[in-house]
């Protein structure tokens, strides 16, 4: 669907991680939620003192609600954390080209940090066909695993320092999985992690989709603030694609890393 | 009371209402279609168009500032051929009043683009000699009054019957002098202001936020500067003016019109509120009704100074 402007009602806005800065917000916004697709995002109006909306991925959705999971990083996300339950939130969305969910076959959901959340909706559609490979810096930051297991997906967790789950990077888990058999791979996380994961997929010939992040202006494709470099199909050139509407999900093989 | 006459006139071209979506903020009018169409607004100034396609600057290209934004898009555009063959016919069909915004690196570039868009039949040509985001992006032509006059005269020659708007840079010593220089070169109208040059640094990394390091400031932060410059440019030239820079509400639009603008540009405000052009248009009309003003043109230059 085309993006719309809507005032949603905040049903909950809770801290997810003890001592952390990670929040989950559930919003009642039937028109927007009904049309939302996995991997799309919304542009949140964070109120007075902000001149740009903040892009936040749709973590999950049903016919009437959207769930957003967000890290408090600065002014805008701090304002979100303070928004009262029962209050209104001004949204522009749903925006962008999301994940293409394959009809059949095994799907690996490769997430790092806050990047695990856009993979939740795909997990809900895939159930047992999905296996989540989730990476965090250390045990204190591990969160959200149950979002995947609740939908019937298997989940493997690793930490950079080995303080929880498997010791190492999520790319090592990915490599083990792809050695064992082919899969479609959906990737979301910090840029270096996505780049490394895409390289592993390329090595094993697995189809991979990545969800990119870039600073945004309009969020509707008009201002060209949010571009990323993409290989020109059937050529050797490069062009700029807009992360907001040509993405945020791209075929990993087209991205110029 | 009879309906307010909302139409305005820029150098002989009638705009159905005074609201113009500014160059660079609305692409070629396609993306904002879920919210309004180009037939709902006075005119659309399309993305700055150059002779050949341009890839633009590296990212990040945008940063938030107090009451504004910095951008350094760097004139990414598909080139004049794509504009003329693909975007213009569609805009025509929609019933848009089209302002072609042109840019270039050399005087000959500007002339060539002007000739192409004039031949293709745009309503107005807006010459951007004030882009702060590319080294050769016209600033060289936009700062020194003698250069403003020279390029205006050279480009005007190629515009045929299409009126030429010169888009002035605010990054100059004396805006009145530059406005007069454009007029001396044959400008039919002026638009101002383009962005003010600014910079932001991430104090954690000690790095500039923009890849281009510096960028153009727009949004409410620049509004008082825009009002002042429109006022001075109008006084200096009497030319029709599209006033822009931080306009976010109908009250802002009325204020900049009082300073001397005949039409009002809306850009950055759309990023927060895609409906801003429509809300501003309707707000101006309501204000006129409430103040017994039958013709919106009466507001222009009505400041009591
Ligand atoms: C498509 C997309 C989906 C995203 N999904 C999520 C999500 O589900 N959960 C989540 O926590 N974060 C997500 N992010 C990142 C999130 O947008 C930023 O963390 C947020 O904008 C920071 O705003 P702030 O005001 O708190 O920080 P500030 O640093 O004060 O923001 C200043 C400006 O920079 C921009 N900015 C800063 N960091 C980023 C960033 N990493 N990406 C894009 N813009 C940035 C802001 O939007 C704002 O315009 C997503 C980003 C994109 C592009
Ligand atoms: C993202 C962005 C891109 C812009 N691109 C152009 C451009 O291509 N050509 C031009 O003449 N002005 C360009 N501008 C300047 C605007 O047209 C306008 O002069 C300025 O932003 C002030 O208006 P505002 O505060 O309403 O945005 C751009 C502005 C922004 C924010
Ligand atoms: S944010 Fe404006 S084009 Fe993507």
Coil/strand/helix, residue A224: coil
Inform me whether the C-beta atom of residue B294 falls under 8 Å from chain A C-beta atoms.
Answer: no
Whole-model pTM: value is 0.96
Report how far ligand 3's centroid is from the alpha carbon of B14 (Å). Answer: 31
Task: Check A52 against B220: CB less than 8 A apart.
Answer: no
Strand partners, A248: A97
pLDDT (tens digit per residue) in B125-134 = 999 997 666 6
Inform me whether the C-beta atom of residue B27 falls under 8 Å from chain A C-beta atoms.
Answer: yes
**How many C-beta atoms surround the C-beta of residue B12 within 10 A?**
11
DSSP state for residue A216 in the 8-state scheme:
-
Tell me: pLDDT of B74 over 70. Answer: yes
Tell me: pLDDT of A215 over 90. Answer: yes
With the most atoms of ligand 3 within 8 angstroms of its CB, the residue from A3, A97, A224, A241 to mutate is A224
Report how far ligand 2's centroid is from the alpha carbon of B25 (Å). Answer: 6
Report how far ligand 3's centroid is from the alpha carbon of A227 (Å). Answer: 7
Distance CA A219, CA B258 (A): 32
Tell me: pLDDT of B301 over 60. Answer: yes
ipTM field? 0.95
- Cβ–ligand 1 distance for A127 under 6 Å, the answer no
Report how far ligand 1's centroid is from the alpha carbon of A56 (Å). Answer: 7
| Listed residue (A38, A182, A32) closest to A98, CA to CA | A38
Burial class (CB in 10 A: 0-12, 13-18, 19+), B83: buried
- Count, residues in chain A: 257
> What would the two tokens of residue B159 be?
């515009």
Q: Give domain limits for chain A.
A: 4-95, 99-211
Coil/strand/helix, residue A20: coil
Contacts of B256 (CB under 8 A, 6+ apart): B223, B226, B227, B230, B243, B244, B245, B247, B264
- Cβ–ligand 2 distance for B134 under 6 Å, the answer no
Instruction: Please name the member of B30, B56, B64 whose beta carbon is closest to the beta carbon of A52.
Output: B64
Which residue minimizes the CA distance to atom 11 of ligand 1?
A70
CATH of domain A4-95: 2.40.30.10
A contacts of B47 (beta carbons < 8 Å): 224
Q: Give domain limits for chain B.
A: 8-59+75-200+217-298
Inform me whether the C-beta atom of residue A85 falls under 8 Å from chain B C-beta atoms.
Answer: no
pLDDT (tens digit per residue) in A18-54 = 777 999 999 999 999 999 999 999 999 999 999 999 9
> What would the two tokens of residue B12 be?
């002989």
pLDDT (tens digit per residue) in B240-296 = 999 999 999 999 999 999 999 999 999 999 999 999 999 999 999 999 999 999 999
B contacts of A220 (beta carbons < 8 Å): 31-32, 34, 274
For chain B, give the mean pLDDT: 95
Task: Check A5 against B31: CB less than 8 A apart.
Answer: no
Tell me: pLDDT of B136 over 60. Answer: no
Q: How far is CA A109 from CA A116, A117, A180, in A?
A: 8, 10, 16
Distance CA B124, CA A4 (A): 31
* Smallest CA–CA distance from B24 into chain A, residue: A223
Residue A244 · residue A219 · CB < 8 Å: yes
- Average pLDDT of the segment spanning B74-80: 95
Phi, psi of B139 (to 5 degrees): -55, -35
- Average pLDDT of the segment spanning B200-220: 97
> What would the two tokens of residue A122 be?
């795909």
Inform me whether the C-beta atom of residue A55 falls under 8 Å from chain B C-beta atoms.
Answer: no
User: The CATH number of B8-59+75-200+217-298 is which of 3.40.50.2300, 2.120.10.80, 3.20.20.70, 3.40.50.720?
Assistant: 3.20.20.70
Tell me: pLDDT of A235 over 80. Answer: no
Tell me: pLDDT of B303 over 60. Answer: yes
Which residue minimizes the CA distance to atom 3 of ligand 3?
A221
> What would the two tokens of residue B209 be?
């936020």
Q: What single string gives the DSSP state of each residue in chain B?
A: -PPPB--EEETTEEESSSEEEPTTTSTTSSTTTTT--TTSSSEEEPPPB-SS-B--PPSP-EEEETTEEEE-----B--HHHIIIIIHHHHHHHT--EEEEE--SSHHHHHHHHHHHHHHT-SEEEEE--BTTSTTSBHHHHSSHHHHHHHHHHHHTT-TTS-EEEE--SSSS-HHHHHHHHHHHT-SEEEE--PEEEE-EETTTTEESSTTSEEEEESGGGHHHHHHHHHHHHHHH---EEE-SS--SHHHHHHHHHHT-SEEEE-THHHH-TTHHHHHHHHHHHHHHHTT-SBGGGGTT----
Tell me: pLDDT of A168 over 60. Answer: yes
Residue A218 · residue A244 · CB < 8 Å: yes
Phi, psi of B24 (to 5 degrees): 95, -15
**Bond from prior residue into B60 cis (ω within 30 degrees of 0):** yes
For chain A, give the mean pLDDT: 95
Q: What percent of chain B has pLDDT over 90?
A: 93
pLDDT (tens digit per residue) in B21-73 = 999 999 999 999 999 999 999 999 999 999 999 999 999 999 999 999 999 99
Distance CA A210, CA A184 (A): 11
Angle ∠(B266,B267,B270) on CA atoms, nearest 5: 95
Instruction: Please name the member of B55, B56, B67 whose beta carbon is closest to the beta carbon of A51.
Output: B67
With the most atoms of ligand 1 within 8 angstroms of its CB, the residue from A75, A76, A122, A214 to mutate is A76
Residue B192 · residue B166 · CB < 8 Å: no
Inform me whether the C-beta atom of residue B79 falls under 8 Å from chain A C-beta atoms.
Answer: no
What pLDDT does residue B110 have?
Answer: 95
* Smallest CA–CA distance from B28 into chain A, residue: A222
What pLDDT does residue B89 have?
Answer: 97
> Band of the pLDDT at A10, cuts 50, 70, 90?
very high
- Cβ–ligand 2 distance for B47 under 6 Å, the answer yes
What pLDDT does residue A237 have?
Answer: 87
Q: Does domain A99-211 have CATH number 3.40.50.720?
A: no
> Band of the pLDDT at A136, cuts 50, 70, 90?
very high
Q: Which residue, chain included where needed, has tokens 């620049």?
A: B222
- Cβ–ligand 1 distance for A140 under 6 Å, the answer no
Give B44→chain A minimum CA distance, Å: 13
pLDDT (tens digit per residue) in B169-205 = 999 999 999 999 999 999 999 999 999 999 999 999 9
Report how far ligand 2's centroid is from the alpha carbon of B72 (Å). Answer: 10
Contacts of B89 (CB under 8 A, 6+ apart): none
Query: Which ligand is the nearest neighbour of the Cα of A241?
Result: 3
């Amino acid at each position: 669907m085309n993006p719309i402007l809507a005032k949603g009602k905040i049903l909950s806005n809770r801290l997810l991680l003890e001592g952390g800065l990670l929040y989950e917000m559930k919003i009642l916004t039937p028109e927007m939620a009904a049309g939302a697709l996995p991997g799309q995002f919304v542009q949140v109006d964070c109120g007075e003192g902000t001149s740009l909306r903040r892009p936040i991925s749709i973590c999950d959705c049903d016919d009437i609600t959207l769930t957003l999971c967000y890290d408090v990083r600065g002014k805008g996300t701090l304002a979100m954390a303070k928004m009262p339950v029962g209050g209104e939130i001004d949204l522009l969305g749903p925006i962008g080209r999301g994940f293409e969910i394959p009809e059949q076959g095994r799907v690996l959901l490769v997430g790092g940090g806050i990047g695990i959340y856009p993979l939740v909706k795909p997990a809900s559609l895939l159930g047992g066909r999905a296996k989540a490979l989730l990476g965090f810096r250390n045990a204190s930051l591990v969160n959200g695993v149950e979002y995947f297991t609740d939908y019937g997906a298997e989940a493997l967790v690793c930490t950079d320092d080995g303080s929880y789950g498997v010791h190492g990077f999520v790319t090592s888990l990915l490599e083990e999985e792809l050695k064992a058999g082919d899969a479609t791979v959906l990737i979301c996380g910090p840029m270096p992690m996505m780049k490394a994961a895409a390289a592993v997929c390329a090595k094993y010939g697995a189809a991979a989709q990545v969800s990119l992040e870039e600073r945004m202006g309009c969020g509707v494709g008009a201002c060209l603030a949010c571009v990323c470099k993409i290989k020109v199909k059937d050529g050797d050139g490069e062009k700029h694609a807009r992360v907001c509407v040509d993405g945020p999900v791209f075929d990993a093989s087209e991205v110029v890393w | 009371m009879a309906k307010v006459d909302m139409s305005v006139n820029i150098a002989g071209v009638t705009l159905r209402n005074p609201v113009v979506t500014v160059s660079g903020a609305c692409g070629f009018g396609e993306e904002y279609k879920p919210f309004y169409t180009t037939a709902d607004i006075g005119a659309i100034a399309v993305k700055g168009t150059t002779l050949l396609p341009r890839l633009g600057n590296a990212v990040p290209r945008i940063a938030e500032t107090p009451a504004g934004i910095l951008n350094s898009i760097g004139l990414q555009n598909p080139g004049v051929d794509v504009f003329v063959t693909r975007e213009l016919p569609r805009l025509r069909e929609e019933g848009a009043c089209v302002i072609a915004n042109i840019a270039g690196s050399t005087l000959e570039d500007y002339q060539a683009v002007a000739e192409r868009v004039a031949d293709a039949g745009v309503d107005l040509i807006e010459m951007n000699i004030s882009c702060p985001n590319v080294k050769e992006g016209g600033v060289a032509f936009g700062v020194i009054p003698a250069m403003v006059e020279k390029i205006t005269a050279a480009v005007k020659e190629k515009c045929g019957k299409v009126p030429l708007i010169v888009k002035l840079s605010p990054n100059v010593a004396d805006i009145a002098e530059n406005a007069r220089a454009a007029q001396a070169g044959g400008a039919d109208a002026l638009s101002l202001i383009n962005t003010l040059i600014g910079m932001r640094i991430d104090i954690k990394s000690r790095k500039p936020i923009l890849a281009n390091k510096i960028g153009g400031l727009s949004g409410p932060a620049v509004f008082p500067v825009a009002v002042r410059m429109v006022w001075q440019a109008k006084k200096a030239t009497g030319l029709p003016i599209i006033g822009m820079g931080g306009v976010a509400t109908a009250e802002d639009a009325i204020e900049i019109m009082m300073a001397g603008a005949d039409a009002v540009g809306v850009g950055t405000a759309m990023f927060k509120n895609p409906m801003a052009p429509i809300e501003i248009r309707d707000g101006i009309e309501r204000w006129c009704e409430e103040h017994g003003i039958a013709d919106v043109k009466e507001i222009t230059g009505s400041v009591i100074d």
